[in-house]
Structure 1
Amino acid sequence: MAAAASAVPPSLDGIALAAPDAAAVRQPSSPQAWGGPRSGQEPTLSDRVVDYQIEARLDPEAHTIEGKQRLSWRNRSAVPVRSVYLHLYLNAFEGEGSTFMSEQRRLGFAFRSDVPIKKGDWGYIELKKVQQAGVAVPWYFVQPDGGPATDRTVVRLDLPQAVAPGGSTTLDIDFFDQLPRVLARTGYFGSFHLVGQWFPKMAVLELPGERGATAPRWNAHEFHLHSEFYADFGRYEVRIDVPEGYTVGATGELQGEPKKQGGRVIHHYVQGDVHDFAWTADKRFAPPLKAVYEGEGSPKVQVQVLYPPEYAHNAPVVLKATLDALAWFSKTLGPYPYRTVTAVVPPFNAKEAGGMEYPTFFTADSYADQTPGTLAHFGQEFVTIHEFGHGYFYGILASNEFEEPFLDEGLNEFWDQRMIQARGQRAPMTTAALKRLGVGTTVDVFEGERLGAGLKDPPDGLGQNSWHRHSSGSYGTVYSRTATAMRDLEAQIGREKLELAFKTYYQRWKFRHPSTADLREVLAEVSGQPALVQRLFEQHIYASRSVDDRVESFKSVEELPLLGRHISPDGRRSELDKDAQEDLVEKLRKQWKKDHPASSSKAEAKKDPQTGEVLAEPGPFPYRTTVVLRRRGAAVPQTLRVRFADGSVEMVRWDDQQSWARFSWVKPVKAVSAELDPERLHYLDQNQLDNSRALKSDGRAARRIASDAGSLLQTLLALVATL
């Protein structure tokens, strides 16, 4: 049994825990971290550290699970291990004393739709027995991040027998789950059960040279409101016992036909080279919608969609998006390595179960309407692509979602939107009702990400951990701001270099838990622009700088004869006063018109092919054009483009750390416009309306504001209509 929190003794081996404020790693991992790169010639896809054999019996009326687990763990370190740590994630939902619920209540953090919790809705996991080689193992609840003493999401086991370096041990564990009413990623509603974070799960022992570690350390954070997961790769063999009439879907491959006995059915699943296992069971599921994916380098993949009858119209959308995502991620990162994909459409009143990822298994969303070209239809497509995409960034790369969530959520969001663009899609901002009225618009997906990225004064760097954040909104920008930052990097280094860098990152670090520094090093190496990559990481990943460059002033004026004393070529002195200047200017203008009698008609006949502006010819006096640029944030490499009335263009680079810059030209004709970032490389710039100026009135800015306002209004109307 567990001891009281105040009586927790020190660990038996003195191995430290990861720091409570651990976040984005700066030191690259060793080339041999996690066993070194996987060549594909090894007997297994991953260097397996754990093996789980689990028996789970579901009571769908009480919403409970009786569990038995044989957990084998290998000590990769060079020191004996006496104390190990397990995650008991389900205890986040046992009451308001958990770290998860405390953050939601005390800090005012929101989570999804904040489903109210009523009596009987709570859930928990209880350890019934833990033995090592038949000997009882004492355990202690600990709070590695300094959370409340009432948090029981991490437990330390003090082993009777040390695990030698390179050796393994097996723990026999009996446990009991009370599933919560679906409120965050797991639970039940009616007969529907989404079973995630449900078994005692070994924490990760990191070694020197892995994710910045300099000595062996346990990475065992509490279950925070916004944190997700991090675990070793291994093999799962799970037997799921449910009443007859229940359809089951799960991580991995079903081993033969389910076995019936005594009015119940046992489903046997096995999956290697994954780091988690989840499943679903419901007696209301319709017959699954199935397909097969066959792609170069992948095994034959059995794809199925489980769905309730009321959302049958969602299933084809989910199936097609899953197949499309399989092809896209296999082509752009690497072939999908598993033999199954199961997607689940949650039933009515269980949307909190939607949008969640597990290895080879994910939940999509559920929408009453699936009219093509509407926000709901696009939303179902995108959620499906996003959750499948996690199978690569969260699943195969398996970065630490506790400490570096942007490596999963943010990079996945970026790659998903690249897929949407590659399909030639834009995001619709209308409902079915508005579409029938002929009202609707679309936005570029990265423009949409930019609008939701919180670019003005971001309080947290993208590389901050998932719990030490200013607000839920700040955590939410991990998705959009990362996608925007990576989009800007692609705009600067080019599509081919960006794609090669991500493919290299995936090939080098698949099944190996890369860190922020490992991503940074690959991007710097492949792009050939390490300074550019380093600047982006320092400004936006390791810190929280905003970008706000603008054209502060723009003028183009004639250079008239100068007042004052002058010396002529023959050495004679003269003085030009104001009256004399006016007379001289008038004289020279008349003379120029006399010498160029057809200049006006010629100018009217010639137009700039890009702008449509009428081109002008030089006049009697040149023009001095001056542009002042101003910076109110992080320095980024900028380009200024100035267009002139004769169709000529001047381009200048602004790439220093100064807060302002002034550029000036003397040309025969007047300037017509000055534009900063004309190639739109910097979506991170919080206000792009002040990036350009024109000497003549131009309605483009006003139209842009009206368009943004209209899109926002339609988005709000669409969201209201889908509630």
Structure 2
Amino acid sequence: AVLLLLCAMLLGVQTASPAMVRERDTATIPGARDPLADVVPGALAPAQRAADALSAYRMDVAFDPAFGTIGGEMMLTWRNPASRPLDEVWFRLFPNAFYYGEGNLDVVDLTVDGEPVIPEFALADTALRVPLLDAVAPGESAEIALTFTTTVPADATGSYGIFSRDTSNGSWVLADWYPILAVYEEGAGWALPEVTSFGDPTYAPSAFYDVQVTSPADLTVVATGVVATADEAGGIITQGFIAGPARDFVIVADDDHLPLRQEVDGTLLTLWTAPSLDPAISEQTLAVAADALRYYNDRFGPYPAREIDLVQTDPSGALGIAWAGLLFLDGPALLGTYGEYDPEGLATVVAHELAHLWWGILVGGD
């Protein structure tokens, strides 16, 4: 059912009525954040149906550069995707994987519907079982709350360097950094594969995200979704991000990234690069991304999100990596060397990663 919802959203089978679009575009409700803020008007109707079926994360987290951590509180409104009642929910704790060295994800104060529960760790602490107070019927929900602290390893290269803190330039690359809901496969149960340092480890269901991120004001925080709120005081900035349906929530934080933007068919493309990158290469990269997005919109169906970020990072052994609405692009090799000496190679990689926004993310795989 989730796949059908996502495919309907992808193909733009239905569109919202003009009244619905106007109301959403102009509504200003103090204290309320629209869970569909990252959805383009033409995809609002299928996105609303998805919102009635998918789980929803709410997080309030903060960076602590002195200790190399990010953490805070998380509440998940978990909806049972199975065709039978379930009495447990599983999460993945990827920062505890052996290949992240000093990386760690610590979870405490876990409750279900307000009542404390005792979790069970498995798979070398990379999986967490949460017992439910009572079995939850298909389509019904439970509120799972917890507090977590994630230690981000310095200069980590495990799994292409998707979870690391660069001590040479102060950047943070954060994929798989929070407790991620595991996938429930109909007929097979909870999917809990062993972690691997080779290939993409993330296997997660689509969900909605409302994430408040507090950081030093000199860090530019780029994340999945759109910025709904921003408040700055005393050298600290707190931003509220809204995303979904999204298969993950990824953050890149850096103190000198510069943006270059272009709108394509209602989606804002933003390329974030270091100031040392040749501006001509930045313009070329964004132009390639814009052309690819137009082509895929026509070929696959309109992309349903309002924003896509392409961010210069320094991955280990990969030229590009795609996440929900956010792409990692290798700075030294792809943007630097390919950008200067092999523009066709640069275009191929950028177009390839953009295609993953449909195949692998909107339509997921294991």
TM-score scaled by length of structure 1: 0.42
Q: Provide the C-alpha distance between the structure 1 equivalents of 2:200 and 2:338, rounded to a whole number of angstroms.
A: 31
Pair 1:60 & 2:33 matched: no
Superposition pairs for residues 430-469 of structure 1, below 5 Å? none
Is residue 69 from structure 1 mapped to residue 74 from structure 2 by the alignment? yes
Q: Where does 1:227-238 land on structure 2 (aligned, <5 Å)?
A: 227-238=200-211
Cα displacement string for residues 184-225 of structure 1 (whole angstroms, at most 9, x for unaligned residues): 212111310111101111112222xxxxxxx36112223222
**Residue correspondence of structure 1 range 325-404 to structure 2 within 5 A:** 325-346=292-313, 355-367=320-332, 368-369=336-337, 374-375=341-342, 377-400=343-366
2:216 alignment partner in structure 1: 243
Deviations, residues 569-619 of structure 1 (Å, cap 9, x unaligned): xxxxxxxxxxxxxxxxxxxxxxxxxxxxxxxxxxxxxxxxxxxxxxxxxxx
Q: Is the 8 A contact 2:338 2:345 kept in 1?
A: no
Q: Does 1:164 align with 2:137?
A: yes
Match of 2:260 among 289, 297, 304: 289
Structure 2 residue aligned with 1:422: none
Output the CA distance in 2 between the equivalents of 1:186 and 1:315. Answer: 25
The secondary structure found in structure 1 opposite 2:293 is helix
Q: How many pairs were matched up? A: 319
Match of 2:162 in 1: 185
Unaligned stretches of 5+ in structure 2?
16-43
- Give the match for residue 591 of structure 1: none
| Contact map agreement 2:77 2:141 (CA 8 A) in 1 | yes
Query: What SS does structure 2 have at the residue aligned with 1:331?
Result: helix
Instruction: Report the Cα offset of residue 232 of structure 1.
Output: 1.9
Q: Is the 8 A contact 1:186 1:353 kept in 2?
A: no
Mapped to 1, the partners of 2:212 and 2:260 lie a distance apart of: 23
In structure 2, which of residues 196, 205, 210 is the aligned counterpart of residue 224 of structure 1?
196
- Distance (Å, rounded) in 2 between the aligned partners of 1:280 and 1:353: 16
**Matches of 2:194 and 2:316, distance apart in 1:** 25
The change in CA–CA distance for 1:255 and 1:371 in structure 2 (over 3 A counts) is: closer
Give how far 1:122 is off.
Answer: 2.3
1:125 is the counterpart of 2:97: no
Greater fraction of residues in helix: 1
Which whole-Å CA distance do the structure 1 matches of 2:65 and 2:2 have between them? 43
- What residue in structure 1 maps to residue 35 of structure 2? none
Tell me the distance in 1 between the aligned counterparts of 2:284 and 2:110: 45
Question: CA shift at 1:288, angstroms?
Answer: 0.8
Kept in 2: contact 1:317–1:380 (CA 8 A): no
Q: Match for 1:195 among 157, 163, 174?
A: 174
The partner residue of 1:301 within 253, 263, 267 is: 267
1:288 aligned partner, one-letter code: P
Deviation at 1:242, TM superposition (A): 0.7
Q: Which has the higher strand share?
A: 2
**Whole-Å Cα distance in 2 between the matches of residues 260 and 352 of structure 1?**
37
Q: What is the Cα deviation at residue 354 of structure 1?
A: 5.4
Counterpart secondary structure, 2:111 = strand
Code of the residue aligned with 1:198 in structure 2: it is W
- With over 3 angstroms needed to count, the CA separation of the structure-2 counterparts of 1:179 and 1:326, relative to structure 1, is same
- 1:343 is displaced (CA, Å) by 0.5
Does the 8 A contact of 1:366 with 1:380 survive in 2? no
CA shift digits 1:518-567 (9 cap, x unpaired): xxxxxxxxxxxxxxxxxxxxxxxxxxxxxxxxxxxxxxxxxxxxxxxxxx
CA contact (8 A) 2:213 2:240 kept: yes
On the 8 A contact 2:320/2:353 being kept in 1, the answer is: yes
Task: Tell me, in whole angstroms, the C-alpha distance in 1 between the residues paired with 2:112 and 2:2.
Answer: 29
Q: Which residue of 2 aligns with 1:277?
A: 249
Rg larger in structure: 1
Q: Is the 8 A contact 1:238 1:268 kept in 2?
A: yes
| Structure possessing the higher relative contact order (Cα contacts under 8 Å, 6 or more residues apart) | 2
RMSD: 2.3
**Alpha-carbon distance, 1:34 to partner:** 4.5
**Preserved contact between residue 186 and residue 197 of structure 1 (Cα < 8 Å):** yes
**TM-score, with structure 2 as normaliser:** 0.80
Q: How far apart in 2 are the matches of 1:63 and 1:123? A: 10
- 1:138–1:354 Cα change, 3 Å: farther
Task: Say whether the 8 Å CA contact 2:183–2:190 is kept in structure 1.
Answer: yes
Task: Report the 3-state secondary structure (helix = DSSP H, G, I; strand = E; otherwise coil) of the residue aligned with 1:236.
Answer: strand
